[in-house]
Copies of this chain bind each other. A is one copy, B any other.
Amino acid sequence: MAGNSFGKLFNLTTFGESHGTALGGIIDGCPSGLTLDIEAIQKELNRRKPGQSEIVTQRKEPDTVQFLSGIFEGKTTGTSIGFIIENANQKSKDYSHIKDVYRPSHADYTYDQKYGIRDYRGGGRSSARETACRVVAGAIAKQLLKDVKIHAFVSSVGDIFLEKPYQELDFNLIESNIVRCPDEAVAERMINRIKEIRKEGDTIGGTVTCVIQNVPAGLGEPVFDKLHAELGKAMLSINAVKGFEYGSGFCGAKMKGSEHNDIFNADGSTKTNLSGGVQGGISNGMDIYFRVAFKPVATIMQNQETIDSEGHVVEMHGKGRHDPCVVPRAVPIVEAMAALVIADYLLQNKVTKL
């Protein structure tokens, strides 16, 4: 109820502050009998973790997941799966300077307004460090999905766009560069842009595109819980996200029906896919694809004017080790949330028909 749970049948509840003892979560509803590849889970966490390359924050966190329950002799037992990730590198003293200061475009002010108290160390619960738990659960969901393949990649950094349609991309190249863009030339430009920005003590936004393939037709629930509505919520719940579009998206709003309609082939597939794999909130068996907009990270290494908790104007200067651009590390998070949504609907679909 208080916002720390996601999913109906494959449910994740998480806890943990950026600089507390540990983060963690409980996965409730994972079917029994799934042989878990723990190494693959850790590998997903490593794709998200800080310090992985020169264009992300240089904070060092091992981000090692420990499973405490729900797994027996390598298999899920159907009972709740508890896990924790210890916060190794807390360095709380780094954050004393923001104890009474509201950082611009962070959640310091709103948490104080909402709760009357906040763990100010590193953003506390509002820190994107929380997403590590999503990646753990998403990695398990991925193993449940089997044939369904989820590929996210960076499709823009600032005004540098990957223009090619996703059908022309080789998803095997996503992990071949540190920005996670499956086009070497564009990736290089993105990387250079991020390095420039970092030198300026600034940050920059970007977009992540995600493609989900081999989803059977029939997933999603009509009316309020449409497949794309839940995907949209999942993505918008990731820190720094400002927008979501699927299929034709905002471009579709400029089109005519005669241009936009996807004409069927005899087998039920469609000749075009402006629908983005979803019609009436339910998957139609075509690729599902969507795009997620991330704002620039709010912490910049420049002087900014702001206020303290008493309303005094103060000057602040960003400290600590922060990402100049969030999208390279957001890729596994987008995939994880997509996996959670699809896994949930796959389970829900088992009770749809007699």
* B125 close to A250 (CB less than 8 A): no
One digit per residue, 1 when the CB lies within 8 angstroms of any chain B CB and 0 when it does not, for chain A 107-122 equals 1011101111111000
* A229 close to B236 (CB less than 8 A): yes
> Which of chain B's residues have a CB closer than 8 A to the CB of A321?
none
> Shortest beta-carbon distance, A142 to chain B, in Å?
14
A237 contact from B72, B226, B302, Cβ within 8 A:
B226
* B229 close to A298 (CB less than 8 A): no
Chain B residue with minimal CB distance to A114? B218
Determine if A233 is an interface residue (Cβ-Cβ < 8 Å): yes
Determine if A242 is an interface residue (Cβ-Cβ < 8 Å): yes
> Which of chain B's residues have a CB closer than 8 A to the CB of A267?
311
* B16 close to A28 (CB less than 8 A): no
Given that A69-B17, A242-B248, A295-B260 are known contacts, is A105 also in contact with B279, CB under 8 Å in the complex? Answer: yes
One digit per residue, 1 when the CB lies within 8 angstroms of any chain B CB and 0 when it does not, for chain A 1-20 equals 11111101101011111001
Task: Offer 20 A-B interface pairs, CB within 8 angstroms, sorted by A.
Answer: A13-B13, A15-B69, A20-B68, A24-B82, A26-B26, A29-B351, A107-B280, A110-B217, A110-B218, A110-B280, A111-B280, A130-B223, A158-B256, A205-B255, A207-B250, A229-B233, A232-B232, A263-B305, A265-B307, A267-B311
* B354 close to A34 (CB less than 8 A): yes
* B105 close to A260 (CB less than 8 A): yes
> Shortest beta-carbon distance, A215 to chain B, in Å?
11
> Which of chain B's residues have a CB closer than 8 A to the CB of A311?
266-268
> Which of chain B's residues have a CB closer than 8 A to the CB of A125?
69, 77, 79-80, 222-223
Determine if A96 is an interface residue (Cβ-Cβ < 8 Å): no
Copies of this chain in the oligomer: 4
* B20 close to A69 (CB less than 8 A): yes
State which of A49-57, A173-181, A342-350 sits at the interface with chain B.
Answer: A342-350
Determine if A152 is an interface residue (Cβ-Cβ < 8 Å): no
* A28 close to B8 (CB less than 8 A): no
Add 5 more A-B contacts to A230-B233, A260-B298 (CB < 8 A): A5-B28, A15-B82, A33-B115, A242-B249, A243-B250
> What's the Cα separation between A299 and B256 when bound, in Å?
11
> Shortest beta-carbon distance, A190 to chain B, in Å?
13
* B253 close to A243 (CB less than 8 A): yes
Given that A244-B243, A284-B110 are known contacts, is A306 also in contact with B264, CB under 8 Å in the complex? Answer: yes
> Which of chain B's residues have a CB closer than 8 A to the CB of A1?
8-9, 11, 28-29, 221, 348
Determine if A225 is an interface residue (Cβ-Cβ < 8 Å): yes
